[in-house]
Amino acid sequence: MPMIRVKDLKKRFGTVEVLKGITFDVEKGEVFVIIGPSGSGKSTILRCLNFIEEYDDGEVVIDGELLGYRLDDKGRRVRQTEAEIARMRTEVGMVFQSYNLFPHVNVIDNLTMAPVHVKGVPKADAVALAMELLAKVGLTEFAEAFPSRLSGGQQQRVAIARALAMQPKVILFDEVTSALDPELIGEVLQVMRQLASEGFTMIIVTHEMDFARDVGQNLLFMDDGLIVEQGPPKELLARPKTGRMQDFLARFHGKEKVA
Amino acid sequence: MLDVFFANLPYLLKGMLITIEFAFGGIVVGTLLGVGLGILAVVFPSVVGKLIAVYVFVIRGIPVLVWMFMGYTGLGALISDFMAVLIVLILYTSAFVAEIARGAILSVHHGQIESAKSVGMRWPLMLRLVILPQAINISLPALVNNSIMIIKATAYVSVVGVWELSYAAREVVERTLAALDVFLGVMMMYFVICYPLAIIANRLEKRFAFQH
């Protein structure tokens, strides 16, 4: 059974249909990469996977459980309760483009807040796990620091550690290096490479094509709310089948395709 | 120069005490009520939020003096004058604080709510751990502003005949005709009432500031 199964996912914002019927599976331990131009809907897909955006149609199934909705006794779809949705969210970690660390508490408290208050983990255990995770992302000496004292790359690594602290089944990465200075991107990608090698299930929206090719196992190219191409990254990035993907990739090699 | 003022100081001090009671009651209870209303307006925007918006609009739209008259003649018939105008002060404060609180909560970056949700927090937990601590920081200057306004509004109760510092001051002036003398002194007394507020505000701002 795949870790994540998305079937015919549709999402509208007002009158604009942003997702027009998306279908894909993510296997356990897979590194799944989504690329595409701005506005193609890639971030929206991620945000539907932890129900931060409530999808309108289709299904998102996480480890066998339908997300956000359940069927009532007449077989109609009805929205899950806040409690059920919150519970499912603890199994899906998310790292945001703008880190979104809690600025009013220090790094350790950022990491322990949710485990202690949402999962009821004893403080000492949560702190122990937090220190382990900080070591994993290379930031042990910043445990007591406040987020504002950290660089963007450091904050993003803390954000990854915060997502890991809930011990989720899958981690979503929403363009996590797009807001970083080029010299700080490497340290974040390094952490992600390490997580991939440890067998985490990861869904990554990114513009880092080299990373996608080296680390990704499955790739989705999206445009205008639909999947245009899907397959192994090494294959697709080297030999894109459609003109749209060729145009998109051409931008990353500094050559504009002249119409 | 301030001889008349100092000669009447004991009398004026009694008035000051009443003013402080009004100010304290109005500010503390009114602020708590207003924060509660502000939170409700954000968490339940459709029905409760609209009701609170009407409440805020009506109360803020009418001068506090007019509310004093209405409270005095209306409520004052059922309960003591002191309680009637105190309730007016409390409700008046709460309307302004509700908007301050609502605005402060909405000013907390939306990304904070998303990341709190993404780790499985629900609204009560999110408010307590993530949103309100940041909102307090944002709202402190406006809350202090509002509290100073309420201290000054306490003077209006004298117009409906409730005795406090400015009422006492006018009595002394009527008796001694030393207007400048007395009012200079009374100005200092109002300043003395406001000063602890400024100290508390300073401490609170330091306490809730995001440390660096």
Share of chain B above pLDDT 90, in %: 72
pLDDT at B212 over 80: no
Nearest CA in chain B to A164: B119
Nearest to B114 among A90, A96, A166 (CB): A96
Q: For A140-162, what is each residue's pLDDT tens digit?
A: 999 999 999 999 999 999 999 99
How far apart CA A20 and CA A8 sit, in angstroms, is 8
> What's the mean pLDDT in B143-167?
91
Beta strands A170-174 and A201-205, pairing class: parallel
Predicted confidence at residue A3, as pLDDT, reads 93
How far apart CA B31 and CA B54 sit, in angstroms, is 18
Cβ pair B118:A163 closer than 8 A: yes
A interface mutation test: which of B108, B113, B118, B125 has the most A CBs within 10 A? B118
CA distance B204 to chain A (A): 14
CA distance A53 to chain B (A): 10
What DSSP element (H or E) covers B168?
A: helix B165-176
> Model-level pTM?
0.86
Q: For B127-143, what is each residue's pLDDT tens digit?
A: 999 999 999 989 998 99
Domain count, chain B: 1
Q: Are A99 and A110 in contact (CB under 8 A)?
A: no
Cβ pair B109:A100 closer than 8 A: yes
Predicted confidence at residue A165, as pLDDT, reads 96
How far apart CA A69 and CA A65 sit, in angstroms, is 10
How far apart CA A240 and CA A237 sit, in angstroms, is 6
Environment class of B41 (CB within 10 Å of its CB; exposed 0-12, middle 13-18, buried 19+): buried
Cβ pair B120:A119 closer than 8 A: yes
Name every residue in B having a CB less than 8 A away from some CB of A: 109, 111-112, 114-123, 125, 129-130, 133-134, 137, 208, 210-212
Contacts of A84 in chain B (CB under 8 A): none
Please give the residue range of the domain that contains residue B183. Answer: 3-208
Query: Residue B158 has what DSSP assignment?
Result: G
Nearest to B212 among A118, A119, A146 (CB): A146
Predicted confidence at residue A255, as pLDDT, reads 41
Predicted confidence at residue A253, as pLDDT, reads 65
Please name which of B161, B27, B146, B143 lies closest in space to residue B84, comparing C-alpha atoms. Answer: B161
Cβ pair A166:B119 closer than 8 A: yes
Low-confidence ranges of chain A (pLDDT < 70): 253-259
Q: Are A114 and A162 in contact (CB under 8 A)?
A: yes
Query: Residue B210 has what DSSP assignment?
Result: P
Question: Where residue B136 sits, what CATH number does that domain have?
Answer: 1.10.3720.10
The secondary structure of chain A, three-state, reads: CCCEEEEEEEEEECCEEEEEEEEEEECCCCEEEEECCCCCCHHHHHHHHCCCCCCCEEEEEECCEECCEEECCCCCEEECCHHHHHHHHCCEEEECCCCCCCCCCCHHHHHHHHHHHCCCCCHHHHHHHHHHHHHHCCCHHHCCCCHHHCCHHHHHHHHHHHHHHCCCCEEEEECCCCCCCHHHHHHHHHHHHHHHHCCCEEEEECCCHHHHHHHCCEEEEEECCEEEEEECHHHHHHCCCCHHHHHHHHHHHCCCCCC
Nearest to A100 among B114, B120, B210 (CB): B114
List the strands of the sheet with A57-62, edge to edge: A16-26, A4-13, A57-62, A65-66
* Residues with Cβ within 8 Å of residue A25, at least 6 apart in sequence: A2, A4, A5, A6
How far apart CA B209 and CA B212 sit, in angstroms, is 9
Predicted confidence at residue B211, as pLDDT, reads 56
Predicted confidence at residue B58, as pLDDT, reads 96
Q: Are B201 and B144 in contact (CB under 8 A)?
A: yes
Beta strands A57-62 and A31-35, pairing class: unpaired
